[in-house]
Amino acid sequence: MKKLINNPTLVVEEALAGMAHAYPHLLRVNFCPNYVVRADAPQRGKVAVIAGGGSGHEPMHSGYVGVGMLDAACPGPIFTSPTPDQILAAAAAVDGGAGLLFIVKNYTGDVMNFAIAAEECQLAGVPVETVLIHDDVAVEDSLYTAGRRGVGVTVLAEKICGAAAEAGAPLSEVAAIGRKVSEQGRSMGVALTSCIVPAVGRPTFTLPEDEMEIGIGIHGEPGRQRVALQSADEITEMLATTIFDDLPFTRGSRVIALVNGMGGTPLMELFIIFRRLAELCEERDITISRNLIGNYITALEMAGCSLTLLAVDDELLHWWDAPVHTPALHW
Amino acid sequence: MKKLINNPTLVVEEALAGMAHAYPHLLRVNFCPNYVVRADAPQRGKVAVIAGGGSGHEPMHSGYVGVGMLDAACPGPIFTSPTPDQILAAAAAVDGGAGLLFIVKNYTGDVMNFAIAAEECQLAGVPVETVLIHDDVAVEDSLYTAGRRGVGVTVLAEKICGAAAEAGAPLSEVAAIGRKVSEQGRSMGVALTSCIVPAVGRPTFTLPEDEMEIGIGIHGEPGRQRVALQSADEITEMLATTIFDDLPFTRGSRVIALVNGMGGTPLMELFIIFRRLAELCEERDITISRNLIGNYITALEMAGCSLTLLAVDDELLHWWDAPVHTPALHW
Amino acid sequence: MTSTSMLGITVLIDWMQRYADKITEHEPLLTALDAEIGDADHGINMQRGFEEVRMRLVHERTDDLGAFFKSVGMTLLSKVGGASGPLYGTLFLRMGMVAAGKRTLTPTEFASAVAAGVEGIRQRGSARPGDKTMVDALTPAIIALHQALDDGATLCAALQAAAIAGEAGMKATIPMQAYKGRASYLGPRSIGHQDPGATSAFLLIQSAAESICAAEAHDS
Amino acid sequence: MTSTSMLGITVLIDWMQRYADKITEHEPLLTALDAEIGDADHGINMQRGFEEVRMRLVHERTDDLGAFFKSVGMTLLSKVGGASGPLYGTLFLRMGMVAAGKRTLTPTEFASAVAAGVEGIRQRGSARPGDKTMVDALTPAIIALHQALDDGATLCAALQAAAIAGEAGMKATIPMQAYKGRASYLGPRSIGHQDPGATSAFLLIQSAAESICAAEAHDS
Ligand SMILES: Nc1ncnc2c1ncn2[C@@H]1O[C@H](COP(=O)(O)OP(=O)(O)O)[C@@H](O)[C@H]1O
Ligand SMILES: Nc1ncnc2c1ncn2[C@@H]1O[C@H](COP(=O)(O)OP(=O)(O)O)[C@@H](O)[C@H]1O
Ligand SMILES: [Mg+2]
Ligand SMILES: [Mg+2]
Ligand SMILES: [Mg+2]
Ligand SMILES: [Mg+2]
C-alpha cells in the first residue's frame, strides 16, 4: 500500500487536522465526535445545511463547508457513514433556530444513521428535513431494493441548497429546492483501477490491464459490469447516453455538467471526456450552461471518472451562481 | 496503459478542445500551433504574461490563463517544451504593446525554445523579459550544470506576476517581482509511483511496493535517490527541512505554502502532509500566511507530492490576494 | 437447574467478550467478504464497535440487564457507523427494552429479547428474508431458538440449534442476489458471495451459544 | 571523381530520409534511454520532427543547399520541442548558413558546414565535452571527419571514420555523470546510462556515411 499517511486508523483525523490548519477563516474542526462547521456557525435565523458520509471522497463533504454551501459536514471513517451522535453534535453546533436540512446520499448506512439523528432532533423539537440523493443510473431502481445510490448530484445539491439557505429561504423551500435537484440530476461512473482502503491495505478488487468496471459508485466497490477497456470517447458516449435515456432531456434543455475524477485520474483526461460530452450535448441541442471539471467526489486514489448532468432552470442557475466560499468551491 | 484517452498522439489537442468547450468566457484555444489565450486578449497597454512548457502538468499552464494571471500558455507535447514558433504565435495574439514577460521553468528545452522566441521578438522590436524559475532544492546548484529545475514556484510566480501586470505595472517591474518570487521560493518532491507517458505506454520507471523516489521533478523522471517508503510525517519533515535549510527563514518570516499533488494522490493525503508542515513551521516561528493544497502542477497520474515555500512580504501578499479568474485559480 | 437457566450479567458480559474476540479473529474474513460485494469495511466497522464495547465493559458495571444492553446498543450506534452500526445498535437497544429493570432473564425472556432485537433490525432496515443481509442468518436462528425452547431444550442446546440454523442461513446467502444494502448495487454480480453481515450475525449467535453453554457447564 | 566528391541535393535528401528511417527504427531505443535518465520522450520528439522533415522533402524541392538545410532546421525547430529541437534545429540552420546559395558542396565544405552546425549546438546549449550530451558524440565525429579528409580520404571514408568516432563518443557517455540537460538532475544516478541525444547524434553521422557512400558507389 503506497500512501502518504502515518497510521491507517488515523487518516481521517489527521486530514481533518490539516484542514483545520489550512482554512481557519472558513471552517472549524471538532474531534470526538468528528465534524466540520463553518467558521461563523451558528448563523442565527438561517437554515443549517448539514451533510456527511464516509471519508475518502475528498473534497466532499468537508471541503464544501463555508459561506454559501454547508454549515456542517460529518465525516465518518473511510467509506463508512457517520454515526447519529456525531450528526447530532454537528447539528447542535450549527443550529440557528430555523431548522436543519440533511443532505443524505442514498446508502443504507447513511440513510439509517441520519434517520436516527433526525428522529432525535424532532423529539427535541428541532425541525429537520432530509433530501435524499439517489442519482446513479447504473443502479436499477425498484421499490424492493435499496434504490439508486447517491453520487455526483450530491455536490450540486449541496451548492444549490447552501445558496438558498444563505439567502434566507425557509426550511421547506430549501428542502424543496434540494428535492428538485435530486429529481433532475443523474450520474454514472467507470473505474480503471480499484482503490485501497487504508485499514485494509490491499485493493478492494483487481482489474486486468485491459478491463474496466462500469457503473461503479464511490466506495471502491466493483461496478455492475466488467468490460474491455474502451476509448475515452466510447466511455463518454456510454455514460452520457445512459444518463440521457434515463432523464429525458428535451431539445433546448439546459444542464449543469460535472465531469468528475475519482482521485487518481489526471485532469487532462477529464478535459478529453468533457470535449466529447460537449459534442454529444450539442448533437442533442442540450446546452451545458455551467460545468465543473475536476476531483469533486472521489474514491481515494481510484482511477476513473463519473459524469453528472443536472437539468436546470433559471431558479437553479441563480442558486448555482450565488457566491460560495469553501475550500473546494469558491466564486 | 489505463487511461481515459482516445489516441496517445492526440491527448494534448483533445484536452485543449475540452478546455475550449468548458471555459469560453475565460480563454480561447488555438490549434496548429497550440496555444491558449485569455478571452479578452490582447489587452492594450498591459504587459502580457506568457508561460509554457510540456503538457501533462495540468492544470498548469493552460488552467492559469485568465484575468489576473496568464495572458497566454503554450502547451508542448507531453513533457516536451513548446517550440519557438508556437511561443511567437501566442505572443503575437496577446501583445498589448507594453512588452512580454516570459515565465520559464529552468529546463534546457524550455530555456532554449523561449530564448529563441525572445531573440525573435527583440529583433522585431517587441520588448521581452524572462523570469527563470529554478526552485527545486533536490538538484544541486552549480555554475557548471543546468542548474535547478523549475517546479512549484512556477504557479506562484504566474499568479503574482499576473496580478502585477493586471494592475498595470510596467514590464521591468513585473519582471522584478517575478525574479523576487523566483529568488524567495523553494520546492522539493517525492514520488510513490511513476507515470505513463501516453505515447510510450509503460511506466517511465518502476518502483517496488516499499520504496519511493526522493527529489523528483514533474516529468515522471526518477529522482535523486530511491529510499524505503516512509510515513507522511517523515516525508514532510525531510522535504520541509531541506527547503528550510536552503532558504534560511528567520523566525517571524511569513510564507505562502503549496502542498501539491502530482496527479494520482488523494486530497486527503495532502491534508495529512499540510498538517505536519503547519506544525513544523510553527516550531520555527514561520507563519503560513496563505496556502494552496491540491493538484496544481502535476506529472500525469504520478502518486506523490511536492512542497513549495515562498517567503513573502506585504507586496507579494498584495499581489497574491489580488483577484484571479482562471479555470484553476479563482478568487 | 433453576440457577443455571437464569441469565445474569456475568454470562452476558462473557458473550460480548467472546464476540469481540471472534470479531477480532474474523475481521479479515468479514472485510474480505465485504470487499467482494461491498466496500471492504464490515470487519473494520465491527471491530471498531466491539473494541469500544469491550472497553466499556471494564468501566461500566451494572446489574440492570436493560441498562447493559442499552449501553452496548448505544456504543455500537455511536462507533460502528455504516449500515451495520444502526442495525446491531437497534438489536441491542431493543433487547434492552425487553430486559429493562431486570437483573436476570429466563431462557424464554432471553429468546424474546433477541427476537425483539431482530424485529428491530427488520424494521430499521426493511430487509426481508432472501434480500441477502444479516436478516437471512438471524431469522432462521430465532425460529430455531424458539422451537428448541418450546421443545424443552436448555438455553445452551437451544442456542446451539440457533447457531446451526444461523450458519445455514448465512451460507444460504451465497446463491442469493442482494436487494438491500450496498451489495444490491452489484445486481446479479452479487450472486455467489457470502453476505458479510450474515456472517457477523452468525458469529453473534455462535458466541451466545458458547457463553451460555460454558456457564451451564460450569454451574452444573 | 570530382562529380562523386561534390554533394548535391539528391544525396542530402537521401541522408535525411535514411535518418528519418533510422529514427523510426530506433524510436523505442531512444525513448527507453531517455526513460532511464530523462523524461522518456527523446525518440518521440525526434520522430515527430523527422516525419515532418520527410513530408516537407516531398513538397519543397529546392536546389539551393542553403535553403534546404534552413528548411530542415526550421522544421526541427518548430516540431521537435524539448532540448533536442533547438539543438538539432541550430545544427541545420548553421549548416544552411555555410551552404547558402550553393547547389553543391565539396567534401571540405560539407565538413565545414557540419562543424559550424556542431559549434552552433555548443553555443546554444553551452555543453562541453564530458557533460554527457550529444556533444560527446558530435565532437569526436567532427574531429575524425576533418582528420580523415586532411589525410586524403574520400568523404565516404571520412564519414565512416566519423561514425566510428561518434559511436565511441556515444558509448563514452555511459560512465559519465551528466552536467547538462535533464539527466543532470539525477546527479550521480545518471552514471551507467547511455545518453539518448548522443545516440541520435551518432545515428545522424552514421546516416550521412551511408548516404554518401551509397552515392559514391553508385557514381563510380
Ligand atoms: N437494509 C438492511 N437490512 C439488514 N441488513 C442490512 C441492510 N443493509 C445492509 N445490511 C447488512 O449490513 C452489512 C454491511 O455492513 P457494513 O459493511 O458494516 O456497512 P456498509 O454497507 O455501510 O459499509 C451487509 O452485509 C448486510 O448484511
Ligand atoms: N545543454 C545541452 N547541450 C547539448 N545537448 C543537450 C543539452 N541538454 C540536453 N541535451 C541533449 O538532449 C537530449 C535530450 O533530448 P530530448 O529528450 O528530446 O529533450 P528533453 O530533455 O527536453 O526531454 C539529451 O540526451 C542530450 O543529449
Ligand atoms: Mg461502509
Ligand atoms: Mg522532454
Ligand atoms: Mg461495508
Ligand atoms: Mg527527453
Confidence check: pLDDT of C3 > 90: no
Half-sphere exposure of A312 (CA within 13 A, CB side): 24
Query: What are the grid coordinates assigned to C78, written together?
Result: 455511536
Q: How far apart are CA A302 and CA A57, in angstroms?
A: 10
* CATH of region B8-183, choose from 3.40.50.10440, 3.30.565.10, 1.10.260.40, 3.30.450.20: 3.40.50.10440
- Summarize the confidence of residues A183-190 as an average pLDDT: 97
Q: Which position has the higher pLDDT, D218 or A307?
A: A307
What average pLDDT is seen over chain C? 94
Of the candidates A266, A232, A193, C35, the residue with the CA atom closest to the CA atom of residue B265? A266
Cell numbers 526513460 label which residue?
Answer: D35
pLDDT score recorded for residue C1: 36
User: Taking the domains of chain B in order of start, what are their residue ranges?
Assistant: 8-183, 185-319
pLDDT score recorded for residue A141: 73
Cα B44 → chain centroid: 26
Provide the pLDDT confidence category of residue D220 given band limits of 50, 70 and 90. low
C180 lines ligand 1 (CB under 6 A): yes
Confidence check: pLDDT of A142 > 80: no
- A107 alpha carbon, closest ligand: 1
pLDDT score recorded for residue D219: 75
Query: Which member of B80, B200, B225 has the closest CB to residue D82?
Result: B80
Q: How far apart are CA D188 and CA A309, in angstroms?
A: 52
pLDDT score recorded for residue A107: 94
Of the candidates A86, A97, A158, the residue with the CA atom closest to the CA atom of residue A124? A97
pLDDT score recorded for residue C20: 98
pLDDT score recorded for residue B112: 97
CATH architecture for the domain at D9-219: Alpha Horseshoe (1.25)
Residues of chain B with pLDDT under 70: 143
Q: How far apart are CA C144 and CA C164, in angstroms?
A: 9
* DSSP state letters, A248-290: PPPTT-EEEEEEEE-BSS-HHHHHHHHHHHHHHHHHTT-EEEE
Q: Do C85 and A83 touch (CB under 8 A)?
A: yes
**Cα-to-centroid distance, A56 and ligand 5 (Å):** 14
pLDDT score recorded for residue A247: 86
Closest atom of ligand 2 to D200 CA is: 27
Bridge partner list, D95: none
Confidence check: pLDDT of A223 > 90: no
Task: Note the ipTM here.
Answer: 0.93
pLDDT tens for residues B170-194?
A: 999 999 999 999 999 999 999 999 9
pLDDT tens for residues A64-115?
A: 999 999 999 999 999 999 999 999 999 999 999 999 999 999 999 999 999 9
Chains B and D touch (3+ CB pairs under 8 A): yes
Cell numbers 447530532 label which residue?
Answer: A88
pLDDT tens for residues D184-206?
A: 988 899 999 999 999 999 999 99
Q: Whose CA is nearest to atom 15 of ligand 2?
A: D84
pLDDT score recorded for residue B210: 95
Confidence check: pLDDT of C73 > 70: yes
Residue A134 catalytic?
Answer: no
Q: How far apart are CA A135 and CA A150, in angstroms?
A: 5
**Longest CA pairwise span in chain D (Å):** 51
Chains C and D touch (3+ CB pairs under 8 A): no
- Summarize the confidence of residues A30-36 as an average pLDDT: 97
What pTM does this model have? 0.94
Q: Whose CA is nearest to atom 13 of ligand 2?
A: D197
pLDDT tens for residues C159-200?
A: 999 999 999 999 999 999 999 999 998 889 999 999 999 999
User: Taking the domains of chain D in order of start, what are their residue ranges?
Assistant: 9-219
Q: Say yes or no: B78 contacts chain D, CB-CB below 8 A.
A: yes
Confidence check: pLDDT of A175 > 50: yes
Q: Do A4 and B270 touch (CB under 8 A)?
A: yes
Residue to test with chain D: of B200, B206, B213, most D Cβ within 10 A = B200
Confidence check: pLDDT of A228 > 90: yes
CB < 8 Å to C39, chain A? 54, 79-80, 197, 204, 219-221
pLDDT score recorded for residue D1: 37
Query: Regarding the domain with residue range A185-319, which homologous superfamily does it belong to in the CATH classification?
Result: Dihydroxyacetone kinase; domain 2 (3.30.1180.20)
Other CB atoms within 10 A of residue C188 CB: 10
D90 lines ligand 2 (CB under 6 A): no
Query: What are the grid coordinates assigned to A315, written together?
Result: 431558479
Q: Is A85 exposed, middle or buried (0-12, 13-18, 19+ CB in 10 A)?
A: middle
Q: How far apart are CA C49 and CA D7, in angstroms?
A: 86
Residue A325 catalytic?
Answer: no
pLDDT score recorded for residue A143: 67
Confidence check: pLDDT of A250 > 90: no
Amino acid residing at B9: T
- Which three-class secondary structure state does DSSP give residue A293? strand
What average pLDDT is seen over chain D? 94
Residue to test with chain D: of B110, B112, B218, most D Cβ within 10 A = B112
What 8-state DSSP symbol labels residue A186?
E
Query: What are the grid coordinates assigned to D109, written together?
Result: 565544405
- Summarize the confidence of residues C16-22 as an average pLDDT: 98
**Cα-to-centroid distance, D40 and ligand 4 (Å):** 7
Provide the pLDDT confidence category of residue C220 given band limits of 50, 70 and 90. low
- Summarize the confidence of residues D136-160 as an average pLDDT: 97
C34 lines ligand 1 (CB under 6 A): yes
pLDDT score recorded for residue B143: 67
What average pLDDT is seen over chain A? 96
Closest atom of ligand 2 to B219 CA is: 23
Q: Which position has the higher pLDDT, C73 or B140?
A: C73
- Summarize the confidence of residues D83-103 as an average pLDDT: 97
Subunits close to D (at least 3 CB pairs below 8 A)? B
* DSSP state letters, A12-71: HHHHHHHHHHH-TTTEEEETTTTEEEETT---TTSPEEEEEEEESSTTTTGGGBSBTSBS
Q: Say yes or no: B34 contacts chain D, CB-CB below 8 A.
A: no
**H, E, C per residue of B40-83:** CCCCCCCCEEEEEEEECCCCCCHHHECECCECEEEEEEECCCCC
Subunits close to C (at least 3 CB pairs below 8 A)? A
Confidence check: pLDDT of D37 > 70: yes
Q: Which of B25, B219, B318, B325 is catalytic?
A: B219
Residue pair A91/A41 in contact by the 8 Å Cβ criterion: no
Confidence check: pLDDT of C2 > 70: no
